[in-house]
């Protein structure tokens, strides 16, 4: 697993902190998931107050504040500076939303904000699509992590474009890649990791599950299983059957 701005994570699972039925369930879900990173919205934290921030600190994981809800580069940059001051971290998950229905990122605003923040010393985790040209511009801007979506945020559709995600992995072998958004099932997290991705990030699939704690544990196990499977160099698929039992020495009746 590639490092994230020099930081090696114990688990390839990153979890969001929104929409849980209660703070206690949020904390329990994190403990059972084994997640290494918690993403936190500055706007949500500001409204929740110090109790929420104390809860996040007690999770014992790295905090990745995000610019959720920002629709312009200026708005995202301002929010990122506020987050750095509040959370005392250079990490920032950069979101610049361009489409209100799909929550697809605005590629132009995203690159603009990424360049400004990288120049200002931030370690930027941009929420992007699987577009190779956009990814190249973000890397040129200074990003050492890319977070392409699997599907629209909160949709649970899984990996809509496996070809695009595989291409992204092949074109950026030294960049840490995280599938962010759209995962609904643990099997989809395993699939993303089997493509060679370094982590997965999700929120709704756990927070809105009937049993968020059990689902969090399932996602943690699935992400780790996918990581191990990719490292084990899986067999290539075949068009024809191949016997697993040798025929040498088999008795033939005539």
Q: Catalytic residue positions? A: 93
66 labelled binding-site residue: no
Contact 80, 92 (CB under 8 A): yes
Burial of residue 14 (number of CB atoms within 10 Å: 0-12, 13-18, 19+): buried
Cα-based angle 111, 114, 117 (whole degrees, multiple of 5): 150
Residue 31: alpha-carbon gap to chain centroid: 18
181 labelled binding-site residue: yes
CA distance 116 to 122: 9
CA-CA distances (angstroms) from residue 110 to 77, 113, 253? Answer: 10, 5, 71
Cα-based angle 229, 125, 70 (whole degrees, multiple of 5): 130
Query: Which token pair is 45?
Result: 């934290």
Contact 107, 131 (CB under 8 A): yes
Nearest to 17 by CA among 70, 74, 59: 59
Query: Which token pair is 151?
Result: 């599907």
73 labelled binding-site residue: no
Contact 142, 119 (CB under 8 A): yes
182 labelled binding-site residue: yes
| 3-state DSSP assignment of residue 24 | helix
232 labelled binding-site residue: no
What residues form the annotated binding site for 1-deoxy-D-xylulose 5-phosphate? Answer: 154, 181-182, 203-204
What residues form the annotated binding site? Answer: 154, 181-182, 203-204
């Amino acid at each position: 697993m590639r490092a994230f701005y020099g930081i090696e994570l114990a688990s390839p699972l990153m979890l969001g902190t929104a929409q849980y039925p209660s703070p206690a369930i949020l904390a329990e879900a994190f403990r059972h998931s084994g997640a290494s990173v918690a993403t936190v919205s500055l706007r949500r934290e500001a409204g929740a107050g110090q109790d929420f921030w104390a809860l996040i600190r007690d999770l014992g994981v790295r905090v990745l504040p995000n610019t959720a809800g920002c629709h312009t580069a200026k708005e995202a940059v301002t929010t990122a500076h506020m987050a750095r001051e509040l959370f005392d971290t250079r990490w920032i998950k950069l979101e610049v939303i361009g489409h209100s229905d799909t929550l697809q990122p605005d590629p132009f605003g995203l690159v603009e904000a990424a360049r400004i923040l990288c120049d200002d010393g931030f370690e930027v985790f941009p929420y992007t699509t699987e577009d190779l040209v956009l990814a190249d511009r973000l890397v040129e801007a200074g990003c050492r992590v890319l977070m392409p979506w699997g599907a629209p945020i909160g949709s649970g559709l899984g990996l809509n474009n496996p070809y695009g995600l595989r291409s992204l992995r092949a074109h950026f072998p030294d960049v840490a890649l995280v599938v962010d958004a759209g995962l609904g099932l643990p099997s989809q997290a395993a699939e993303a990791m089997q493509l060679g991705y370094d982590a997965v990030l999700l929120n709704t699939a756990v927070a809105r599950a009937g049993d968020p704690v059990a689902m969090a544990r399932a996602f943690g196990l699935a992400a780790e299983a996918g990581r191990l499977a990719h490292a084990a160099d899986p067999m290539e698929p075949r068009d024809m059957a191949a016997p697993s039992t040798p025929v040498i020495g088999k008795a033939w009746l005539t």
